[in-house]
A and B are shown apart, each in its own frame.
Chain A
Amino acid sequence: MDNLHQPPLVVTNLSCQRDDRLLFSDLSFSLNHGEILLLEGSNGSGKTSLLRILCGFREADAGEIFWCGEAMADSRYFADMAYVGHADGSKKELTVLENLKFAQALKQVGRYSIEQALEKVQLSGYDDNLLQTLSAGQKRRLSLARLLITDNRLWILDEPFTSLDRQGIVLIESLMAEHVAQGGMVILTSHHDLSLPFNAIQRIHLDSCH
């Protein structure tokens, strides 16, 4: 379906305003297999708004988003993407395993089994722990496990490094590197710079967009 010449994600002339303030306008970019897009900018520059538009939570004031040549709403976009936001998106009264099983039921089963994914995010053995007994960093890693157990090509990560220690940051970067190496795509916002030598990394600096 999607040939190599046409990037799967194409965004054209996107603009967004909030409370009468123009956050960005005429923003166009595309993302190809194996690429990472890093959104930079100060607080309030519209990074999160852009991510929420890309998730379909927010409507852009102008512009369009295409996935594999089709408009986002008509395409398989939501079957192909996964999102980790500020909130965990998991229930604190459920165990790690119950949370992941539910996440799997909402999407398609992905590359890794739940056990494998927990091992990768260094949470193995925590299967039956209630989420409320985990630390903030562990919850964050659990959200990342959700990316691994569901079938997806595009990861959208909003500030994935918050509340993670050095080791956790290295973990995310290695997961991203692996995802990208297999042809996946990542869009993320971050205050940190990425430390791994990613060769295909696009940057959009939102402060300079208007």
Chain B
Amino acid sequence: MSLTTAFFAIIRRDLLLAFRRRAELANPLLFFVMVVTLFPLAVGAQPNLLQAMAPGVIWVAALLAALLSLDNLFRSDFEDGSLEQLLLSPHSLSILVLGKILAHWLVTGLPLLLVAPLLALFLGLPQAAMGTLWLTLILATPMLSLIGAIGVALTVGLRRGGMILSLLVLPLYIPVLIFASNAVDRAASGLPVTAQLNILLAMLILALVLVPLPTSAALKMSVN
């Protein structure tokens, strides 16, 4: 069948799998909310302090939640041999991998949009910054899945890849963190954020183009 069919088949399959394992679906989301809840408890509940920290806290929590969810991306396929079958497809592995990443984002990145207003409420983020928070989540969470995919592909063959995964992936997340949290920060002070959003968009396009290739090369290495 054609590459397009295969691409959509893989997205459909991964969404279906996520639905069948829906008990796990909420875990990264809960983690996200809980990490954010820890901050007021640790630093104290002064409204000014929390408001100033809100963009950073939300984005650090989003980063960690993404990191936690990454393991699902290739782990089960690696264990049950589906990854081998994927590699044997005559279609381009990079495109199939892109389908998997997209499905992963739909399942783990997009739901963060749902709880973001709750967190903004917890931390006293101004209403004006809400739209920007959503925009940065839409632009930047796909990048977390994309960049993370390289790390998972490199470590999926390891029995305890989790720690190494964070060491590999977190430094690469730094630009995303900087621009996304800065955009929310500025929006909270009522300043324009076009530059930050444009940079995030540019980085997203770059990641979309560049990520599938090393990811598929790393998967081939891991299956070995």
Which of B17, B20, B80 makes the CB contact (< 8 A) with A87? B80
Whether A105 contacts B79 in the complex (CB less than 8 A), given A76-B90, A93-B17, A93-B20, comes out as: no
Whether, in the assembled complex, B128 has its beta carbon less than 8 Å from a beta carbon of chain A, the answer is no
**Which residue of chain B has its CB nearest to the CB of A101?**
B9
- A87 and B79 contact, CB distance less than 8 A: yes
- Give chain B residues whose Cβ lies under 8 Å from the Cβ of A59: 224
Interface membership of chain A positions 98-109, coded 1 if the CB is closer than 8 angstroms to chain B and 0 otherwise: 100111111111
Ranked nearest first, the 9 interchain pairs of A and B with the lowest CB-CB distance are A87-B81, A105-B9, A89-B81, A79-B90, A106-B89, A93-B20, A89-B85, A78-B90, A102-B13
- B20 and A83 contact, CB distance less than 8 A: no
Chain A, interface residues (CB within 8 Å), range: 20 to 34
- B84 and A91 contact, CB distance less than 8 A: no
- B1 and A104 contact, CB distance less than 8 A: yes
Interface membership of chain B positions 4-36, coded 1 if the CB is closer than 8 angstroms to chain A and 0 otherwise: 011001100100110011000000000000000
Whether, in the assembled complex, B223 has its beta carbon less than 8 Å from a beta carbon of chain A, the answer is yes
Which of B1, B10, B89 makes the CB contact (< 8 A) with A109? B1
Stretch in A3-11, A20-28, A50-58, A186-194 with 4+ CB within 8 Å of B: A50-58
Contacts between the two chains (Cβ within 8 Å), count: 81
Chain B, interface residues (CB within 8 Å), range: 20 to 34
- B87 and A107 contact, CB distance less than 8 A: no
- B224 and A58 contact, CB distance less than 8 A: yes
Whether A103 contacts B85 in the complex (CB less than 8 A), given A57-B223, A78-B90, comes out as: yes
Please name 11 further chain A to chain B contacts, defined as beta carbons within 8 Å, in addition to the given A56-B88, A93-B20, A106-B96, sorted by A numbering.
Answer: A57-B84, A57-B224, A79-B90, A81-B88, A83-B88, A90-B80, A91-B13, A91-B17, A91-B82, A92-B80, A102-B10
Whether, in the assembled complex, B86 has its beta carbon less than 8 Å from a beta carbon of chain A, the answer is yes
- Give chain B residues whose Cβ lies under 8 Å from the Cβ of A104: 1
